[in-house]
Chains A and B, each alone.
Chain A
């Protein structure tokens, strides 16, 4: 594997065997993934899509039933692969009888840090993550946000070149999410690679360089956000005043939806051409166009488009046939090309 990749997986698969009489469940189905170094990589998918399974395989918590994975050139089956990786699990749990100072001391020792570096980094991180006031308090008394911050602190304690975060923004309030976003951006600025899974797509869209979308254990899209979101216009919103009755009737024939809010007449059309036509009709009938706002596809809408058509019950039931390539993957690959 080339060392310019932070993470690479090749046909990575995971099948769970729940017991003698239950059918095998597919967690991952032939995943091929490449995460370049120095990027922020968003890993997306519905519940049960296989995000946490992938992360657990990378971190040595689960063993893949097929395929291989590497982190920074080391096969993940080897514990050396975790030397230069920081990890925060979803809803991180810690030894509740420890204080933040003791917890970071413990994780620093496990990461092989020497005493002086360990202590100075712990002090710095406790201060940076706003835990100074509670550094001597047992973790059983920490709030969810404080645990999340400590989780991030232990993940970046030994300054690893690769940081893997499983749902780092899950359950946080807007300020907490902003803090996590800032930490991720500062890690990227320091040259570190951040690979994280999330359901909060607005955050992913805001900070990620690349994303991969997973559906029922299979990759359905991967690429730079700028190449996946091509600026496709979903609808155009027009708002006008003083439109005459004949004009209104003509504009309504173009509209997906039209309504009057008492002051302005609003129209939604689905293409730019129709928007130009509607604009012409409004002006022709003596109206004044106040708003003409195209609405481009967001990451959330893209995500729904590439996963929703194939999700069936929406509960992330695994696809069983490997050859059932989804149209979504084809479209994503075309876009990437």
Chain B
């Protein structure tokens, strides 16, 4: 009840914030101009549209999570609105979870609007639409559960600017973790500086492997070939479990920081 109340209030805050609409408008614009980019590109016009559309949804959903999420807890402390909430019979983890779920709901609604515009536009342009696209969109949402948790973690411990920098770095570097571990396992590195290899592997284990959720390229190819699935369903379940577990671990860490704070 308390978590739901705080979540809905957080959602209402985001809905009444101009930044959400700015990001939404830009997201929709990107989807709409994807056709024009398709006209001037080599290869299939619908393929470019699908590619840019999926990428736009990913980047603008990430921006919603980062720009709204990184200031979420800090703003409550800075503006002292947290006083009237935590002074009610509310546990601190209720507050943290409420903020997280509220932001996730905002991201979900943002994604649904962008996805509706994307699928509608593909259908209007006569591009192939298969379940593979839904798989890509679903895993993008799972990626957002991780990014939102990371944003909440930094927001509960740092200023909005630092939180935004850290979360953005993780958002993009998380796409490169596979490349980092490949680099670490290169014979040149393992022979000359094995500690670098260990360090890179440790970084790989700790940082979120966001590339797991990036099946956009496979989804585009699958939909072009009218295939229903971009990746097997069991692989998708594994990615989902990984994403939710990682988000839960980050939220637990955020709670450990938040529970000890004096306001």
Q: Which residues of A pack against B, CB within 8 Å?
A: 56, 59-63, 79-80, 82-83, 85, 87-89, 91-95, 97-98, 102, 106-107, 109-112, 151, 154
- Contact, CB under 8 Å: A89 / B80: yes
Mask, B74-92, CB within 8 Å of A = 1, is 0000011111111111110
Name 12 A/B residue pairs within 8 A (Cβ), A-sorted. A61-B83, A61-B86, A85-B87, A87-B83, A87-B87, A89-B87, A94-B84, A95-B13, A97-B12, A97-B17, A98-B9, A110-B89
Question: How long is the Cα–Cα vector from A318 to B82 in the complex, in angstroms?
Answer: 27
Interface centre among B2, B88, B262, B263 (most CB of A within 10 A): B88
List residues of chain A with CB within 8 A of the CB of B260: 63
Indicate if B40 sits at the interface (CB-CB under 8 A): no
Indicate if B191 sits at the interface (CB-CB under 8 A): no
List residues of chain A with CB within 8 A of the CB of B9: 95, 98, 106
Taking residues whose C-beta sits less than 8 angstroms from the other chain, chain B's interface range is 20 to 34
With known contacts A93-B81, A109-B1, A109-B5, A60–B86 Cβ distance under 8 A: yes
With known contacts A106-B5, A110-B2, A82–B88 Cβ distance under 8 A: yes
- Contact, CB under 8 Å: A110 / B85: yes
- Contact, CB under 8 Å: B89 / A80: yes
B1-36 CB contacts (< 8 Å) to partner A: 1-2, 5-6, 9, 12-13, 16-17
- Contact, CB under 8 Å: B263 / A56: yes
Question: How long is the Cα–Cα vector from A107 to B6 in the complex, in angstroms?
Answer: 10
- Contact, CB under 8 Å: B84 / A79: no
Q: How far is the CB of B259 from chain A (nearest CB, A)?
A: 9
Q: How far is the CB of B139 from chain A (nearest CB, A)?
A: 33
- Contact, CB under 8 Å: B84 / A92: yes
Q: Which residue of A lies closest to B88 (CB)?
A: A110
With known contacts A109-B1, A110-B2, A94–B81 Cβ distance under 8 A: yes
- Contact, CB under 8 Å: A107 / B89: no
Q: How far is the CB of B3 from chain A (nearest CB, A)?
A: 11
Which of B2, B16, B81, B87 sits near A61, CB closer than 8 Å? B87
List residues of chain A with CB within 8 A of the CB of B262: 56, 61-63
List residues of chain A with CB within 8 A of the CB of B85: 110
- Contact, CB under 8 Å: A112 / B83: no
Q: Which residue of A lies closest to B12 (CB)?
A: A97
- Contact, CB under 8 Å: A95 / B89: no
Q: Which residue of B lies closest to A111 (CB)?
A: B88
Question: How long is the Cα–Cα vector from A92 to B17 in the complex, in angstroms?
Answer: 22
List residues of chain A with CB within 8 A of the CB of B90: 79, 82, 110
- Contact, CB under 8 Å: A79 / B89: yes
Q: How far is the CB of A52 from chain B (nearest CB, A)?
A: 10
Q: Which residue of A lies closest to B260 (CB)?
A: A63
- Contact, CB under 8 Å: B81 / A59: no
List residues of chain B with CB within 8 A of the CB of A61: 82-83, 86-87, 262-263
- Contact, CB under 8 Å: A87 / B84: yes
List residues of chain A with CB within 8 A of the CB of B86: 59-61
List residues of chain A with CB within 8 A of the CB of B81: 93-95
Interface centre among B5, B9, B17, B84 (most CB of A within 10 A): B84
Q: Which residue of B lies closest to A93 (CB)?
A: B80
